[in-house]
Amino acid sequence: MEKGEGRNQTPILEFILLGFGNVPELQPLLFLMFLVIYAVTVLGNILILVLVVADQHLHTPMYFFLGNLSFLEICYSSTLLPRLLASLLTGDRTISIKGCFVQTYFFGILSATESLLLAAMSYDRYLAICNPLRYAALMNGRICCQLVAGSLISSFLACTTINIFLFESKFCDSKEIDHFFCDFSPVIKLSCGDTQAVQLLTFIVSAIGTFVPFLLVLTSYIRIIATILRIPSITGRQKAFSTCSSHLIVVIVYYGTLITVYVVPTADSHKVLHKLVSVFYTVLTPMINPVIYSLRNQEVNEALRKAILKLVAFRNRHRTLNDNF
């Protein structure tokens, strides 16, 4: 029997995002929580981006990738959180079909690009630690730009291919999406037609787009750890590991939650858990990334210290000039 048989075939023009339930007492608290998270995410990643651009000591491949990652995190959060905040503030959970498609499309591109960019960052650390003498030749500015551009273009092509099926789908009868944003899987399940082929295609692309970068990261870090363990001095091992420990933490958190949501099969009874895991990698991870990189990175801390000292000196000089006049 076709999926659409026995269902009301009247086309719908909007969806309803069920979000985190309909408990009025929780809405102000959730709004405040997500507003703080969004503000910290944007400000933290802007700070990292400004430091990478402004400080000459951070004009290296590792920080070039980190700057691009921060820019992605800002766009990533801005694709999801403003709509969620508006819904929590006004109580209006409806979203137009076109608006839902646009959110799904850009979310897919940005999340896939981040997955590939993290793999590129692990490759950079592999070259820096395992092939230090050839690092400058193998990881120059041109190659860095090619890796970032390749991540974006391949993500764009993959997500465009999948979303063509979504744009051509017809939706009727049910319009409730049991999620806080328009993710591809819960949206396509509301289609009137047969979606088995597109769901299979989505699973294959998601598995390849997640597991291949993850395996590249895993291989890189196995080689990195093996190289670090061969360093004779404890100080040398600590210094080598400190340059990649922050990235390793981010990779474990991001790929772990991503695989849980998109690759591991989830029963309907685990929808709440699925939603909570989604909150972790879509909302919390972009917020904690700047914290991890700043707290565990001496060069970023030093660049921040210099920036604060320059700002204080500028304000004192400006105040002195005003006092003189």
For residue 4, being part of any structural domain is answered with no
Residue predicted with more confidence, 282 or 64: 64
Whole-number Å distance between alpha carbons of 174 and 191: 9
Domain membership of residue 26 (yes or no) is: yes
Helices 196-229 and 141-167 meet at what angle, rounded to 10? 160
Is the Cβ–Cβ distance between 205 and 112 less than 8 Å?
no
pLDDT band (50, 70, 90) for residue 78: very high
Handedness of CA 250, 42, 276, 200 (dihedral sign): negative
Question: Confidence class of residue 116 from pLDDT cuts 50, 70 and 90?
Answer: very high
The answer to whether residue 33 sits within a structural domain is yes
- Spell out the alpha helix ranges (H) of 189-297: 196-229, 234-262, 271-279, 285-295
Position 6 scores a pLDDT of 47
Give me the torsion for CA of 235, 237, 239, 240, rounded to 10°.
160
7 belongs to a structural domain: no
What pLDDT is recorded for position 324?
Answer: 62
By residue count, the chain amounts to 325
Q: Is the pLDDT of residue 2 over 50?
A: no
Of 90-99, 230-239, 272-281, which has the strongest mean pLDDT? 90-99
Q: Is residue 3 part of a domain?
A: no
The per-residue pLDDT for 1 is: 41
Q: Around 12, how many Cα atoms within 13 Å sit in the side-chain half-sphere? A: 21
pLDDT at 233: 79
* CB-count burial class (<10 Å; 0-12, 13-18, 19+) for 11: exposed
Give CA–CA dist 188/200, Å, rounded.
Answer: 12
Helices 61-90 & 97-130, crossing angle to 10 degrees?
150
Structural domain of 36: 14-320
Any domain includes 1 = no
What span, in angstroms and rounded, lies between the C-alpha atoms of 123 and 128?
A: 9
Q: Which two tokens stand for residue 136?
A: 């400058």
Sign of CA dihedral 247, 250, 252, 254: negative
Ordered DSSP codes for 94-134: EEEHHHHHHHHHHHHHHHHHHHHHHHHHHHHHHHHHH-GGG
The answer to whether residues 250 and 289 touch, using CB atoms and an 8 Å cutoff, is yes
In this predicted model, which residue has the larger pLDDT, 200 or 40? 40
CATH for 118: 1.20.1070.10
Average pLDDT rounded to a whole number, residues 38-42: 93
- pLDDT given at position 142: 92
Per-residue pLDDT averaged across 15-27, rounded? 82
Helices then strands, each counted (H, E), the chain: 11, 3
Q: What pLDDT is stored for residue 261 in this prediction?
A: 72
Mean pLDDT, the chain, integer: 82
CA distance 295 to 137: 30
* Section 119-147 average pLDDT: 90
Examine the pLDDT at 89 and tell me if it is beyond 70: yes
Q: Is the pLDDT of residue 37 over 90?
A: yes
Yes or no: say if 91 and 27 are a contact pair by the CB < 8 Å rule.
yes
Residue 195: both structure tokens together:
């979606």
User: Is residue 67 in some structural domain?
Assistant: yes
pLDDT higher at 145 or 255: 145
The model's confidence at residue 22, banded by pLDDT at 50, 70 and 90, is confident
Number of domains in the chain: 1
Residue 9 in this model has a pLDDT that exceeds 70: no
Task: Tell me if 234 is assigned to some domain.
Answer: yes
Is pTM, for the whole model, over 0.75? yes
Q: Which of 166-175, 277-286, 307-316 has the highest mean pLDDT?
A: 277-286
Q: What are phi and psi of 88, to 5 degrees?
A: -70, -35
Q: For the CA atoms of 77, 83, 85, 86, what is the dihedral angle to 10 degrees? A: 160
Mean pLDDT along residues 7-22: 74
For residue 164, what are the CA distances in angstroms to 91, 95, 113, 169?
31, 20, 19, 9
Which pLDDT value is given to residue 27?
87
